[in-house]
């Protein structure tokens, strides 16, 4: 592969604060031609108490028959009482009901990574210093 020659006119335009919808669409089309359409389905699951107050939940998306846990949160005062375990069980139930073959997620917290491992997830990647002074850990679980 060679670099463009000086005769070729190339310009690079930067757009801070926004992604290009055209680039995303072109990549999606190329990926779909090889792997099938992404067919993203966003969803959320909320945990509320008897008064209706939110104390936990998750946001995610399903694509290519995998459920991605984008956000998983339990209020600090509700942790270590089984609510996280119950919420993850509900996530897994939803994944199975929607025909998913697996669940994947990532975290910056070592304690959270151990929680996910106790729920049957396996570490499958790690990026050091992301964020600085920590590591981003990727985990997955086949259903």
- For 74, the token pair is 């339990």
For residue 108, the domain's CATH number is 3.40.630.30
16: in domain: no
28: in domain: no
pLDDT digits (tens, 9 = 90+) for 61-104: 999 999 999 999 999 999 999 999 999 999 999 999 999 999 99
Q: In total, how many domains does the chain have?
A: 1
**What does the chain come to in residues?**
143
Q: In the predicted model, is pLDDT for residue 1 greater than 70? A: no
Distance CA 58, CA 74 (A): 9
- List the domain range (segments joined by +) for residue 114: 39-142
Distance CA 104, CA 88 (A): 12
133: in domain: yes
pLDDT digits (tens, 9 = 90+) for 117-126: 999 999 999 9
| The model scores a pTM over 0.75 | yes
Sign of CA dihedral 51, 83, 141, 143: negative
104: in domain: yes
Residues 6+ apart with CB under 8 A from 136: 106, 107, 108, 126, 127, 130
């Amino acid at each position: 592969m060679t670099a463009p020659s000086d005769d070729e006119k190339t310009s690079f335009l930067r757009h801070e604060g926004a992604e290009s919808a055209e680039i995303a669409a072109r990549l999606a089309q190329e990926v779909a031609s090889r792997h099938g359409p992404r067919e993203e389905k966003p969803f959320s699951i909320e945990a509320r108490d008897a008064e209706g107050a939110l104390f936990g939940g998750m946001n995610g998306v399903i694509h290519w028959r995998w459920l991605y846990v984008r956000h998983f949160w339990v209020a600090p005062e509700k942790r270590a009482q089984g609510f996280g375990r119950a919420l993850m069980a509900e996530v897994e139930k939803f994944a199975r009901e929607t025909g998913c073959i697996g669940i994947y997620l990532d975290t910056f917290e070592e304690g959270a990574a151990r929680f996910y491992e106790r729920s049957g997830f396996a570490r499958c990647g790690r990026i050091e210093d992301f964020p600085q002074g920590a590591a981003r850990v990727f985990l997955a679980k086949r259903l």
